[in-house]
Amino acid sequence: MALSVDLEKQLGQFFLSVQFETESGLLALLGASGSGKSLTLRCIAGLLRPDRGRIVLNGRVLFDSAAGIDLPPQQRRVGYLFQNCALIPHMSVLENVMLGYHGKPKTERKQLALAQLSRFHLQARADARPATLSGGERQRVALARTLAAAPEALLLDEPFSALDDYLKWELELELAHTLEDYGGDAVLVSHSRDEVCRLAKEVCVLSCGRSEPLQTVPELMTAPGTLGAALISGCKNLSPVTVQADGKLHCEHWAWTLPACPVPDGLTHVGIRAHSLRLGPGPIQLPCTVDRIIDNVFSYILMLQTPGQGQLRMEFDKAQPVPPAGAALSVHVPAEEILLLTTKE
């Protein structure tokens, strides 16, 4: 199974340009609010018509602007799980799920819907109305209804965004099991780096409406490649950089010079993850001062003042003695953990 997407859409001043191709598994669309993630799902589902492009699912052309093909949503065999669940309020849970079996005889639809509810441990809520359900129950009913239609691809638009942390974790586990059984293509829209790391195989970062090349999750965390990907992957320490005549890298925010190394074309920034900074001497040693200490749940966050008056964020293990505010110290970072970043146009 495979999903290929190549589309462009102009909406006022916002221009969406997305290209990716994925095969069986879960692809995550990761990006800041307003980057075009949900718009991309709507184009795939047939709810929004691109201005140009081609969308192909398992060899079936869903949209092709050049060929004049634009299948309506009901013919695309794409299941869309909305943020707000989109359940029919005046219908029972059972009736909502029965909608997924449209076209079959009523008796068969009811039997199939009851079996689907049992799969999601919702049989006791079959006669309930959506308004009486918890947020987690509503999301499970919506997923049961979506899967009932036997879609060839699943589009998941921030399915956990309205839930508290405990319910998110519980439903995330259920979704992981469901996707294993499903076996088709799935695209997950998310703001959460951690959620993506646990669920997805590949990531497509969207920045200001434009997609960046697909990466595996480990690649995103170890070598994001672009400033946009580094930001969305959670890197907190970023600085514009200039390559000096001797090949060394000058970090403008921090007034530090890093050793010469092979750099990618178009290098504009360097990034250092908070957990990559270590106390003490090392090959790349950086002087700084402790500006303030933030007591995190399982660690301390040290905000370090650099010679350039920029700041660095450093994660510090609570099992170690923490240096006091105002203390001068040296930190180091392994050369292989410095992120060399370009700015994608």
Do β-strands 25-30 and 311-317 pair in parallel, antiparallel, or remain unpaired?
unpaired
Residue 31 phi/psi, 5° resolution?
180, 165
Q: Please report, as a single letter, which amino acid is at residue 328.
A: A
Residue 182 in 3-state DSSP? helix
Choose the weakest-confidence range: 14-23, 180-189, 240-249: 180-189
Q: DSSP of 13-65, one letter per residue?
A: TEEEEEEEEEESEEEEEE--TTSSHHHHHHHHHTSS--SEEEEEETTEEEEET
- pLDDT category, 159, cuts 50, 70, 90? confident
Q: Which CATH superfamily is domain 235-342 in?
A: Nucleic acid-binding proteins (2.40.50.140)
pLDDT at 162: 62
Taking the CA atoms of residue 211, residue 213, residue 214 and residue 218 in that order, the dihedral angle to the nearest 10 degrees is -110
pLDDT at 175: 79
Is-same-fold flag (2-223; 235-342)?
no
Q: How far apart are the C-alpha atoms of 165 and 141, rounded to whole Å?
A: 19
Rg value, the chain, Cα: 24
- pLDDT category, 345, cuts 50, 70, 90? low
The encoded tokens of residue 194 equal 């951690």
pLDDT at 86: 81
Question: Model's pTM, two decimal places?
Answer: 0.84
Domain-wise residue ranges, the chain: 2-223, 235-342
Contact by Cβ (8 Å): 301, 313 = yes
> Which overall architecture, per CATH, does domain 2-223 show?
3-Layer(aba) Sandwich (3.40)
Mean pLDDT over residues 196-202, rounded? 87
